[in-house]
Every structure is written in structure tokens, then in C-alpha cells.
């Protein structure tokens, strides 16, 4: 398998709360994620899987340790560097995070709006909605879409910057089993077609079983 980012996490630590009541969410985690692989982060609620995903995506800042993506140290980037890095990563969340007043097309194009690009933003959005299988719903508002369709819009939005790394946090948590299977099929198909590395935080065994590798966390540590 070729393409996609290589992710190297070393001795990563992240805690929340005051010293008197400190919760260590990620406790000395080291893991290497190969380019082009699909990796599931599993574990019970509170095991640290979502926090680890957010640290890789620079949504959270580590207390110590390092995250290297394609050889670049994410944990030491300045504000401008962090913004550029986040734009280069695709994010998919459990709750979709679509803007309710915008159409599907506008939601997909939204991350591009502040930036000058050398392509038509709306044409790119429409193309990606076709790619995820809902090209006929470009003008629909989120309230007019099913949960599975909303997640497809969210996946199209995650692809809009052409990422080599896609991070998905419980992407099927709000979906029934049939829609869950469809979304995982789609993510793995996109991984193959677009040469991405995909990391999925999930508590669902069926989702984890579809991935190339499972990294199981318990109390912030890899088991």
C-alpha cells in the first residue's frame, strides 16, 4: 500500500484538570502508523482514544512527547504552522458538525472560503458530493438529510483539502448497523482511491474489525 501520511507518536502525555484532581487521558503512548493503513483506536469510554486522535490532529496540545507526521514535528509548530497543518488533515466527527443554515454544497466548500485556491470551490464541493454518493443532494440543508447522508457530507468536507491523513472520531456512533457498514465501506474505498492514511477512534468491534490494525487503549495506555 502506498500513499498517505506516516504518523509516529512517541511518549505522548496529555492530562486535564488541576493538579489536585488531574486526569491523565493519554499516558506515555508510543505508536507508529504506516502510510496508507487504516488503523482503529479502540477502548472503553474514557480510555483516551479520542484524545489521542485529537493530539495527532493538533486539536489538543500535548503536555509532553512528540507527534511526527511525514517527518514534521506537530507538537512544536507555531500558530501559523498549526493552522496550516490542520488544513492538511481531514477530520470526521460523530456529530457531523454541519452548519444548519448552509446547503450540503456550501458545507463542503466552507473550509476553503477564507483561502485563495486555483480551482472552483463550488465545483470541487459538487465533485466530492458525487464521490461520496450524494451528488443529487447538493442543495439540501442538513435538516433535510438522514444521519448517513449528513455523515457523507461531513466526509466530503474532510476531503476538500486533499488530505493524506484522515482522522475519524466515532464516525458511525450515531448510525444504525446498515449505515455504519456503508460509511466504513466508503472510508476504506476513499483510502484506497486517494492514497490516504485513515485513523478511526471507535468503540464498535465491527468497525475495528474492518481496519488493517487495532490499537487498544485502557486508562490512557496501549494494551
Task: State pLDDT tens for residues 20-44.
Answer: 889 999 999 999 999 999 999 999 9
The domain in which residue 162 lies consists of 7-222
Asked if residue 128 belongs to a domain, the reply is: yes
Q: Quote the pTM value.
A: 0.92
Query: Is residue 15 over pLDDT 50?
Result: yes
Number of domains in the chain: 1
Asked if residue 2 belongs to a domain, the reply is: no
Is 198 in contact with 7 (CB distance < 8 Å)? no
Asked if residue 1 belongs to a domain, the reply is: no
Instruction: Give the CATH number, domain containing residue 32.
Output: 3.40.50.300
- What's the CA angle centered on 50, arms 45 and 85, to 5 degrees? 175
Q: What is the predicted pLDDT for the residue at 167? A: 97
The pLDDT of 136-153, averaged and rounded, is 94
Asked if residue 121 belongs to a domain, the reply is: yes
Query: pLDDT-based confidence at 2, cuts 50/70/90?
Result: low
Asked if residue 162 belongs to a domain, the reply is: yes
In the chain, what's the furthest Cα-to-Cα distance?
A: 54
Q: How many C-beta atoms surround the C-beta of residue 185 within 10 A?
A: 11
Residues 48-70: pLDDT tens digits?
999 999 999 999 999 999 999 99
- What's the CA angle centered on 132, arms 165 and 139, to 5 degrees? 120
Asked if residue 33 belongs to a domain, the reply is: yes
Asked if residue 202 belongs to a domain, the reply is: yes
Amino acid at each position: 500500500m502506498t500513499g498517505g501520511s506516516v504518523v509516529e507518536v512517541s511518549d505522548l502525555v496529555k492530562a486535564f484538570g488541576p493538579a489536585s484532581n488531574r486526569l491523565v487521558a493519554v499516558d506515555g503512548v508510543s505508536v507508529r502508523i504506516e502510510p496508507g493503513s487504516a488503523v482503529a483506536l479502540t477502548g472503553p469510554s474514557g480510555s483516551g482514544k479520542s484524545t489521542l486522535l485529537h493530539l495527532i490532529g493538533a486539536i489538543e496540545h500535548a503536555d509532553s512527547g512528540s507527534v511526527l507526521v511525514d517527518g514534521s514535528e506537530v507538537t512544536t509548530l507555531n500558530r501559523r504552522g498549526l493552522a496550516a497543518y490542520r488544513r492538511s488533515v481531514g477530520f470526521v466527527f460523530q456529530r457531523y458538525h454541519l452548519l444548519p443554515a448552509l446547503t450540503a454544497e456550501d458545507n463542503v466548500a466552507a473550509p476553503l472560503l477564507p483561502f485563495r485556491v486555483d480551482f472552483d470551490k463550488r465545483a470541487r464541493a459538487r465533485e466530492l458530493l458525487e464521490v461520496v454518493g450524494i451528488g443529487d443532494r447538493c442543495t439540501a440543508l442538513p435538516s433535510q438529510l438522514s444521519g448517513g447522508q449528513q455523515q457523507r457530507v461531513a466526509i466530503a468536507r474532510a476531503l476538500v483539502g486533499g488530505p493524506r491523513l484522515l482522522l475519524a472520531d466515532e464516525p458511525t456512533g450515531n448510525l444504525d448497523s446498515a449505515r455504519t457498514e456503508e460509511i466504513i465501506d466508503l472510508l476504506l474505498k476513499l483510502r484506497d482511491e486517494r492514497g490516504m492514511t485513515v485513523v478511526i477512534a471507535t468503540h464498535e468491534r465491527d468497525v475495528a474489525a474492518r481496519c488493517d490494525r487495532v490499537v487498544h487503549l485502557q486508562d490512557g495506555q496501549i494494551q
